[in-house]
Homo-oligomer: A and B are copies of this chain.
């Protein structure tokens, strides 16, 4: 049986981790953006790991080595932010080619360390080996105030669903590149996640949080499954940039698909009591309400031109 037949990677991870008990000292294991460990009286440690494979997560036709390093860091930091935390330490493993040059690796590290500097991350170790394609794995350790931690599971019926920034930009850039069209590709080759200060400001008012790495549809589904809720997304209000709409026009594709099913935008999706909007706006206002958390029996759907449609899930490596 193929992993795809079992229902893809998320189902398989559930299949494997379902009967692993948590020892004392572990607050949360697999199933959120980070694992959560007891640390001090006021703080938890967060740990997340992410692997990027050549020609799957990055194509060296389009990515410089430095952009590859930058994306590896931003995509991982995003997972720490999604819990309301701040990244601290990084551990990198890489499978290089036999003939990888020092210049390639210097550029890779330049991009990686530029992102580390942006987020005050210190590189503390790693492993270097070789294979027939580039593979980079980053493990990040971060911390979060116990009061400021937010899980996927905290959404409540009546919460509004918000996203930071604009969605779909990474996939828009990828589609331009795939079709050989000119246009704005920076959101694909140099994605920027949010900052720890922004994530902490949001966490102060949010009930649930996740980062947008597999598309809005997938992240909303994760929030609903873990919170035991339903949700409605209003397609017409999904925030997209002019560059993303331009790319959709040039490629003949639907920009909403970029936002809903594309992923790698590394924005934050959060739910909160709508009464908190004014207070959060004072501290951070680059967010848009895109829907509402419902009770579980109402299902998870998207409103398209006034018609309710079931929400498909996002990208899965084995589905």
Interface residues of A, Cβ cutoff 8 Å to B: 1-3, 5-6, 9, 12-13, 15-17, 20-23, 25-26, 29-30, 34-35, 37, 39, 47-57, 88-89, 91-96, 98-103, 105, 109, 122-133, 135, 137, 139, 141, 317-318
Alpha-carbon separation in the docked complex, A150 to B102 (Å):
33
CB distance from A50 to the nearest CB of B (A): 5
Alpha-carbon separation in the docked complex, A66 to B83 (Å):
34
Apart from A9-B128, A53-B135, 10 more pairs, CB < 8 Å:
A23-B122, A26-B89, A29-B123, A34-B125, A35-B91, A37-B141, A51-B95, A53-B129, A96-B318, A132-B132
Q: Specify which of B21, B50, B130 is in contact with A93 (CB 8 Å cutoff).
A: B50
Alpha-carbon separation in the docked complex, A236 to B140 (Å):
45
Whether A47 pairs with B1 at a CB distance below 8 angstroms is no
CB distance from A74 to the nearest CB of B (A): 15
**Given contacts A1-B102, A2-B101, A29-B122, A49 and B127 within 8 Å (CB-CB):** yes
8 pairs of A and B residues whose beta carbons are closest in the complex: A51-B93, A35-B124, A53-B131, A137-B137, A139-B139, A9-B128, A1-B102, A49-B91
Whether B125 pairs with A49 at a CB distance below 8 angstroms is yes
Whether B137 pairs with A105 at a CB distance below 8 angstroms is no
CB distance from A22 to the nearest CB of B (A): 7
A39, A55, A105, A139, most chain B CB atoms within 10 A? A139
Alpha-carbon separation in the docked complex, A54 to B53 (Å):
14
Q: Specify which of B39, B123, B318 is in contact with A20 (CB 8 Å cutoff).
A: B123
Shortest Cβ distance from A139 into B: residue: B139
A20, A39, A48, A51, most chain B CB atoms within 10 A? A51
Whether B47 pairs with A129 at a CB distance below 8 angstroms is no
Whether B12 pairs with A102 at a CB distance below 8 angstroms is yes
Set of chain B residues within 8 Å of A100, measured between Cβ atoms: 2-3, 318
Alpha-carbon separation in the docked complex, A249 to B131 (Å):
31
A50, A101, A129, most chain B CB atoms within 10 A? A129
Alpha-carbon separation in the docked complex, A148 to B87 (Å):
28
Alpha-carbon separation in the docked complex, A5 to B102 (Å):
9
CB distance from A42 to the nearest CB of B (A): 14
